Chain A
Amino acid sequence: MNWSWVGVAPFFAFAIVFLFLPSLSIFYRSFQANDGTFTFDNIIALFTTRDIINAYKTSLQISLITAAGGAMFGFLLAYAVVLGGLPRGIRTFMTTFSGVASNFAGVPLAFAFIATMGNAGLVTRWIESIFNISTREMGFSIYNMWGLSIVYMYFQFPLMVLIIAPALDGLRREWREACENLGGTSYHYWRYVAIPILLPSLLGTMILLFGNSFGAYATAYAFSGSFINLVTVLIGAQIQGDVLYNPGLGNALALGMIVIMALSMTGYIWMQKRVARWIQ
């Protein structure tokens, strides 16, 4: 018995009781029928129940859209701030603000966007007064997948800025100069130097953004109630009352979420290891 492990025992005891056992119980009960016998029915039902398929589809769509969009815009913004020749103060300001914005989520964020582009929102009123139209009569609504994606972008792209800015710092001026000395153009620099070096960071962060949006619940719930059928919203409804009328299926639903999140986290960590080769 190695006694030095005793020092970390409380931490792992906590993790086992409040993290691993609950996750394990979800896993275990996903394969349990209502009478307690072993079954694959719940897992099969995941792929055949229409509500669940739709929920996964919507969650995946929103996560992919906001991961790609957030990564793209976040990268451009980080590039502009880090390498675009803007005054130094702007970078500090942008980093601080990104720190705040990436943590400004949940209920208040939903209300902020309702005040911005909801039926009586500031932007809605601007558009209506400028073009003299009624967006509501035109059947336009923000309480759908695209509207929610715009809301999610508010915490997605600042997160990208925070993570990718250090990677951009890692692009050394010498590399660009070496490329130019060898007769390379801007295209060659990006194609053969910058993009290959940044690619693991970019992909890794995109995966992180994907998971960030896939697990989000509070923002979606406060924004549209249960109008937008996300996996997290469905799990929330399953907690409050067995809406699937099948406890086992509820567990399988949660298990599917853990599997997808675990895959994306593994992808992120794998990419981070490749990043470490060039950028420290």
Chain B
Amino acid sequence: MSNIFGKSLTSWAFRRSQEAKPKNGIRGRLNIWAWFILLIGIVYFFLPLIATFEFSLRMVKDRYTFEAYRVAFTDPKFFLNFGYSVLWALLTIFFSTLLVVPTAYWVHWKLPKARPFVEFVTLMPFVVPAVVLTFGLIRLYGRPPIVLLGSPILLIAGYIVLSLPYMFRAVDTGLRAIDVRTLTEAALSLGAGWGTILTQVIFPNLRVAILSGVFLTFAIVMGEFTFASLLAWPAFGPYMEEIGSMRAYTPQALSVVSFLLTWASIGLLQWIGRGRGQEQVAGAH
């Protein structure tokens, strides 16, 4: 029994490589079903995208043109809001990295005991949805003694919370792959301080891991609607919603832009993280 169930990575990898070959009649029948399910999946994936693109081309009657894109891109408010979203994304990435990397490093090096607590915190965005967190933040920091409502602190804090699961997972996976103890002890014995260790040793070794967290955070913040809209800050998400209630065709052009942005971010992420075990939980809906 223990032979069958005992985990052996090599036999598992070998089995994986054998998997794809159809063997007998059952496999053949399965194959037709597999193609059929795949077909439905592809239709579900692509039909809305094709429909959105087609819709965005129909601004001029009886003709396909890029007029909706011209209208979208000549609106100065588009660049303003898009710029704001980029700014929010960069601020979020900066502070989230600053918060997560030292913490994850410390958990690996000194304090494995703290891991369950840190993991618990990073899962909180799935327990307290964005709209509920906004509600709590506004009620708590919207009136004295502490008023933070007028500054973008609450917005960035909310985005950092959203980014925590992805950032922590990415950095945690990265730290598993390097020998934190040896690196730290080597650096310490060479006389490096904590600042030097983090910036010269840990960050460079985690570059790929941090980048994958960064791309996902970027994709999430760029399309985010809930925090920005309810906290009344300019951003791409609320701008799209506003255009959607005012115009036809342009919103779909903006959707195509937004989709390409997500696609580029996740595509880069997968390309950077290829060959690594990488998982995700959920986005911000």
Interface of A with B (CB < 8 Å)? Answer: 4-5, 7-8, 10-12, 14-15, 17-19, 21-23, 25-26, 29, 73, 76-77, 79-88, 90, 94-97, 99-116, 120-123, 152-155, 157-159, 162-163, 166, 169, 172-175, 178, 186, 208, 211-219, 221-222, 225, 232, 235-236, 238-240, 247, 250-251, 254, 257-258, 261-262, 265, 280
- Does A94 lie within 8 Å of B216, measured CB to CB? no
Q: Does B26 contact A (CB under 8 A)?
A: yes
Is B45 in contact with A101, judged by CB distance below 8 angstroms?
yes
Which residue of chain A has its CB nearest to the CB of B31?
A85
**Chain B residues within an 8 Å CB radius of A10:** 99, 102-103
Give, as a whole number of angstroms, the nearest-CB distance from A146 to chain B: 16
A111: min CB distance to chain B, Å: 4
Docked pose: A162 CA to B270 CA in angstroms: 13
Q: Which residue of B lies closest to A218 (CB)?
A: B225
In which size bucket is the chain B interface?
35 or more
Distance A96 CA – B33 CA, assembled complex (angstroms):
22
Whether B283 contacts A85 by the Cβ 8 Å rule is no
Quick check: B259 and A22 within 8 Å, CB to CB? no
Contact between chains at B33 and A80 (CB < 8 Å): yes
Please indicate the chain B residues that have their CB under 8 angstroms from the CB of A162 in the complex.
Answer: 279-280
In the bound complex, CA of A106 to CA of B260 (Å): 15
Q: Complex formed: what's the CA distance from A112 to B49 in Å?
A: 7
Determine which of B121, B127, B254 lies in contact with A258 in the assembled complex, contact meaning CB atoms within 8 Å.
Answer: B127
Q: In the bound complex, what is the Cα–Cα distance between A76 and B34 (angstroms)? A: 8
- Tell me if B139 is interfacial: C-beta within 8 Å of chain A: yes
CB-CB under 8 A for A22 and B52, given A11-B99, A102-B283, A258-B128: no
Cα separation A83 to B100 with both chains bound (whole Å): 37
Which B residues are in CB contact (< 8 Å) with A159? 282
User: Are the C-beta atoms of A111 and B285 separated by less than 8 Å?
Assistant: no
- Tell me, yes or no, whether B118 is within 8 Å of chain A by CB: yes
- Say whether B90 faces chain A, with CB atoms less than 8 Å apart: no
Q: 0/1 per residue, B32-57, Cβ < 8 Å to A?
A: 01110110110011011111101110
Contact status A116-B48, CB under 8 Å: yes
Given contacts A172-B12, A258-B132, A261-B127, A85 and B21 within 8 Å (CB-CB): yes
A-B pairs with beta carbons under 8 A, tally: 302
Q: Is the interface of A mostly helix, strand, loop or mixed?
A: helix
**B residues 235-269 with Cβ under 8 Å of A?**
237, 240-241, 244-245, 248, 251-252, 254-255, 258-259, 262-263, 266-267, 269
Distance to closest chain A CB from B195 (angstroms):
13
Min C-beta distance of A127 to chain B, whole Å = 13
Is A254 touching B285 in the complex (CB atoms < 8 A)? no
Cβ-defined partner of B140 (8 Å) among A22, A123, A173: A22
With A22-B137, A236-B230, A257-B132 as given contacts, are A106 and B111 in contact (CB-CB < 8 Å)? no
Kindly identify which residue among A21, A106, A122, A257 contacts B224, using a CB–CB cutoff of 8 Å.
Answer: A106
Give me 28 A-to-B residue pairs in the complex whose CB atoms sit less than 8 angstroms apart, sorted by A's number: A8-B111, A17-B157, A19-B124, A79-B34, A84-B33, A84-B34, A84-B35, A85-B31, A95-B270, A97-B45, A103-B266, A105-B223, A106-B224, A108-B255, A112-B52, A115-B252, A121-B51, A158-B45, A163-B279, A173-B15, A174-B4, A186-B26, A254-B135, A254-B136, A257-B129, A258-B127, A261-B126, A265-B127
